[in-house]
Amino acid sequence: MIIKLCRIDDRLIHGQVATVWAKAANAGRIIVCSDEVMNDTIRKTLVLQVAPPGIKVNVVDIEKAIRVYNNPKYARDTVFFLFTCPQDVLRMIEGGIPIKSVNIGGMSFKDGKKQITKAVSVDDSDKETFRKLDELGVELEIRPVVNDVKVNIMDKI
C-alpha cells in the first residue's frame, strides 16, 4: 500500500476530514485503524455511512491493518490511515508499517487530559507515546485544516 496520509482524530470522519483532508490526501481508501472502533457497532456504522463520495472506507483492528498493508493484492492502492490515538500509530510502526509523518487533528478532552491546543488534549501516556514516535523520527504535526500552519507537537508537551 502507498500511504498518502496518517491522521489522529478521535472524531474520525467529520466535516474537516470528509471535505478537506480526504481531498488533500487523494487516496482511494480511508482505513480507520482501531481495535476500539472495530468493536463499537455504532461508531463503525457511522464512519462507513459518512464515507466521502468515491472513497472506500474500512474499519479494521491494528493487527488486520498491518496484515492488509502487507498484502500484495493492495500493493498499488493508496491509503489514508485514520487513528483515534498515538498509541495505535506506535503499534503500527512497531508492526513494521513505515509511517513517516502523522497529522494530529483532534484528541478530545477527557478527565486526566491536559488541553494543549484548541483541538488537542493529551495525558501522560499520550506524551510518552509521542516522545517515542519523535525518537523514531516521525514528523508529528498539529494541523486541524490543510491550510493551517504545522505545529510540532513536541514543542507543546
Partner 1 sequence: MKIILASHGQLAKELINSAEMICGKQEEVSIIEFIPGEDLCKLKQKFSECMDDSAESLIITDVFGGTPYNVAAGIALQNEHCLTIAGASLPMLLDVFMLRCEENISIQELANRILSNSTQYVRSCQELSYLSESEEL
Grid cell listed for 117: 491546543
The binder of partner 1 chosen from 40, 48, 132, 139 (CB under 8 A) = 48
CA distance 100 to 82: 14
The binder of partner 1 chosen from 26, 125, 145, 150 (CB under 8 A) = 145
* Piece of the chain touching partner 1 by CB under 8 A; list 57-65, 107-115, 119-127, 134-142: 57-65
CA distance 84 to 96: 19
Handedness of CA 18, 1, 76, 100 (dihedral sign): positive
Nearest distance from residue 45's CB to partner 1, in Å? 7
Instruction: Please name the residue that has the C-alpha cell 523520527.
Output: 137
CA distance 8 to 59: 14
Nearest distance from residue 61's CB to partner 1, in Å? 11
41 binds partner 1 (CB under 8 A): no
For residue 140, report the phi and psi dihedrals to the nearest 5 degrees.
-125, 95
Helix (H, G, I), strand (E, B) or coil at 30: strand
* Piece of the chain touching partner 1 by CB under 8 A; list 46-54, 81-89, 90-98, 109-117: 46-54
Q: Which of 4, 11, 14, 132 is catalytic?
A: 14
For binding to partner 1 (CB under 8 A), which residues are involved?
15-16, 19-20, 23, 29, 31, 45, 48-49, 51, 53, 56-60, 64, 68, 71, 74, 145-148
